[in-house]
Structure 1
């Protein structure tokens, strides 16, 4: 039976695993994890020796991650990589290729252990149920996907989307890791909830009005331009009520959860005059080419779904009752143990 694995890689790896066909894990001081004898005790000993400051409770979990990555993932297994930098869920098949390629320049951030992956599908998070997203939101680097396996399989091979039922055999997770996992899930659930509500509760034109309202909550004066379809400037914002004082911000709004490409961004830039700036707002994400364009264009700012949610949370108390009713939220405190 094909196994389904979820893997988390740091946000800074970006699209590189997709473009070069791999998945990777760290723990560089352990060395070549593929050369170790195939038993968990060896991996526990190697971790304890090379990371003496690691909490004893986390060693079995991390050793299990390395052991499974090195010995249990087989050719043909389905790999699920939720990429945080663009809020996409990437699905691929393990090729069976495994290799160790350390990069000493990266130090403790190095991810030297690789498996080959043929990536075959890339889907916005909004394409999946919240329960399925919760399952792949694990704080553990590598984990089995069981309960909602059929939902993910159906995206790449509908004929094999029968529900799989397997006994759980995960290592016990330390309390701190479980608490941090709950905190991360709360954050991701909030992002997913807000984006789903905006996408389902607003038309494209209404999303433009929402964006204008959010700009006003941030201290700008904003107005929505006349209905003209895609391709034009949707909202104009400025710092004074009459619109004479720079900067003038021209805003393009896309109520979509898929990626926005560089051509659409360039189209907005083509509308700018002297002293004007461009802001692109989407519920989804941006292609690498669009992000490169942003880095090379001081007058351009790209706001993706995750960043939009951050602004909404920051200015939530200033939103009109209509929008607070559409996006009902309450403030809570959750454990923050990453730097502990």
Structure 2
């Protein structure tokens, strides 16, 4: 039976990993990990030599990750990659091929056949906690059935436990901080997705724009594909720019054709804003970079804008999404 592994990668690698079919880990100073001796002690010695400033307690944890990546993963094992660039949970199978790409910041790769890509909102919060481990590579155990059910796979074999007891405090604190942020984002997205209809989400978006200082009105309910909200900076709406807004209460990925459709509605002095609870494809983001009158707001950005303007929101929305201010450590966990 296959084991189930979780992998974390930098956001900058997300599109390539999904589109090209691989997962990767870093530590470039070690070179090709296949050239290190096939024992944990050999890997520990290599890590200590290549990274002399690494905290002593982190050496066995780092070495364990590297050893497992090269020597314990088998062809057919399942991999779960929670990608930050689009807030998706990607599930696939390892094919068994290992590569070293020396020009890359994450040079050691394993090829993956992706079986499915799912919004975070498809999973329970406790399952999302499990794949929020501070390790780059870890085994998934508690919520295996929930993840595998999405791709119609059976229960796996169990991998050996990771060596995690001596992980350094900054790594753990950074993970806790990141999970707190992600949990809040998940909570807000779930409440908006489950608590509002598509038409109500348009009103929410219009209200958000008003809280940000715009005048906004929801267009007549004419069905999918049209402009949902009109926003402008002057009260009567005569002065440019006029902002045409498309709203999608979806948690999956928006592609370039849908964004181009909105651009096709623009006239002189008009701008386009696309708002979704999900994410955007690489092609859609490229279109945004090349069109100065286009802005794309994904679920993560929408949550940030909502939280920044939370005090201005009407009681209806603050009741739907109850939040309170808290402070968390501003520490980024190191790879």
Q: Same fold (TM over 0.5)?
A: yes
Q: Paired residue for 2:305, among 311, 327, 337?
A: 311
Q: Tell me which residue corresponds to 2:164.
A: 171
Note closer, same or farther for the CA distance 1:42–1:23 as it changes in structure 2 (3 Å cut). Answer: same
CA distance, structure 2, for counterparts of residue 167 and residue 132 of structure 1: 20
Gaps in structure 2 of 5+ consecutive residues:
none
Please list, as runs of the form range in 1=range in 2, the aligned pairs for 1:50-199 lying within 5 A after superposition: 50-103=50-103, 110-158=105-153, 160-161=154-155, 168-172=161-165, 173-199=167-193
Aligned residue for 1:44?
44
- Structure 2 vs 1, CA of residues 83 and 39 (structure 1 numbering), >3 Å: closer, same or farther? same
Secondary structure at the counterpart of residue 153 of structure 1: helix
SS at match of 1:15: helix
Give the CA RMSD over aligned residues: 1.6
Task: Give the distance between the partners of 1:36 and 1:188, measured in 2 at CA.
Answer: 36
Measured after TM superposition, the shift of residue 337 of structure 1 is 2.2
For the 8 Å contact 1:151–1:161, the answer to whether it is kept is no
**Number of residue-to-residue matches in the alignment:** 333
Q: Which has the higher contact order (CA 8 A, sep 6+)?
A: 2
User: How far apart, in 1, do the equivalents of 2:48 and 2:155 lie?
Assistant: 40
- C-alpha contact 1:139 1:184 (8 A) present in aligned 2: no
SS of the residue corresponding to residue 14 of structure 1 reads helix
- Which ranges in structure 1 are unaligned for 5 or more consecutive residues? none
TM-score (norm 2): 0.96
Q: 1:157 offset after TM fit, Å? A: 2.2
CA distance in 1, matches of 2:114, 2:36: 28
Residue 194 of structure 2: aligned partner? 200
Cα distance in 2 between the residues matched to 1:311 and 1:139: 27
Aligned equivalents of 1:239 and 1:292: distance in 2? 27
Alignment of 1:325-340 (within 5 A): 325-338=319-332
Per-residue CA distance 1:144-186 (angstroms, 9 max, x = gap): 100001111111124x148x77774433232222221111111
Output the TM-score relative to the length of structure 1: 0.94
Structure 1 consecutive aligned stretches of length 4 or more whose deviation exceeds 4 Å: 164-167
- Distance in 2 separating the partners of 1:206 and 1:270: 24
